[in-house]
Amino acid sequence: MTAAQPAGAGRGSLRDHAYDTLRRRIVEAQLQPGERLVERDLAAELEVSRIPLREALRRLEAEGLVVLVPHRGALVSPFTPSDVRDLFDVRESLESLAAQLAAERSDAAGLARLKARLDAARSATDSGDRAAIATANAGFHTDIVELAANPLLTTMMRPLEARTLWLFRLTAQRDPARQCVEHVELYEAIAAGAADRAAALAHDHVADGRAESLALAAAWSRPEIDPQAVAARRRRRAP
């Protein structure tokens, strides 16, 4: 432990510090897809030993944000067009279900929270704050899942939250005004209890961003890094 670390800081708190810091940097695109993460340099910068740093990297790997490559160390996930396509496949189905259930089960307090999130997205859109737009829009989708009041669905969606926010940050040049209009329509359907309309709007809203996001992914991804090959090598090394 370095002198700058707080006295009594345990490995768990150091791991959480490393995890939170790296997760934020990846999701905010400060670290780019495919960028190498050098353990020695990160440990020194974050003032942690390699043990909690490696634990943090494994948590990030579980979220799909990091790839651990045998004999090469860690990389920010390349987030290839195939990864983006897979994410859209899942989101189109599960977010449609979430919107349907939210329309059927939401209460006044939950709708007020969703409206507040929508207002935050509108404000960010008006100001042109792309970071705030991405955060508010991703939060809007997360809030709908919470309104669905289905613990299993929440559990299934939680691992996608970081990748969805990451996608929103990497595709920040998409038309935020259009997304805001679609969110208003979706909110109104949920508030009106129109379950079928909410489900259809949610599906179409997610699907609407697929083509543009895939095109953008081709620009940021690292085609020389094959995550499937990396995963296969990890499986072969497993005991």
pLDDT greater than 70 at residue 237: no
Q: How far apart are CA 11 and CA 75, in angstroms?
A: 23
Q: Which one, of 152, 165, 148, 164, lies nearest residue 114 by Cα?
A: 148
Mean pLDDT of 118-144: 92
Phi, psi of 234, deg, nearest 5:
-65, -40
Does residue 230 carry a pLDDT above 80? Answer: no
Give the residue-averaged pLDDT of 91-105. 97
Q: For 138, phi and psi rounded to 5 degrees?
A: -65, -40
pLDDT at 65 exceeding the cut of 80:
yes
User: What tokens were used for 213?
Assistant: 């996001």
pLDDT reported for residue 239: 44
Q: Residue 110 in 3-state DSSP?
A: helix
Strands 36-37, 73-76: pairing is antiparallel
Q: How far apart are CA 210 and CA 214, in angstroms?
A: 6
Average pLDDT over residues 193-219: 95
Radius of gyration over every alpha carbon of the chain, rounded to an integer in angstroms: 19
Q: At 222, list the tokens.
A: 């690292």
Q: What is the DSSP letter of 93?
A: H
Distances (CA, A) of 27 to 49, 61, 90, 200, 234: 23, 13, 19, 28, 24
pLDDT tier for residue 7 given thresholds of 50, 70 and 90: very low
225 versus 7: which is more confidently predicted? 225
Helix and strand numbers (H, E) in the chain are 12, 3
Q: Which two tokens stand for residue 36?
A: 């190498």
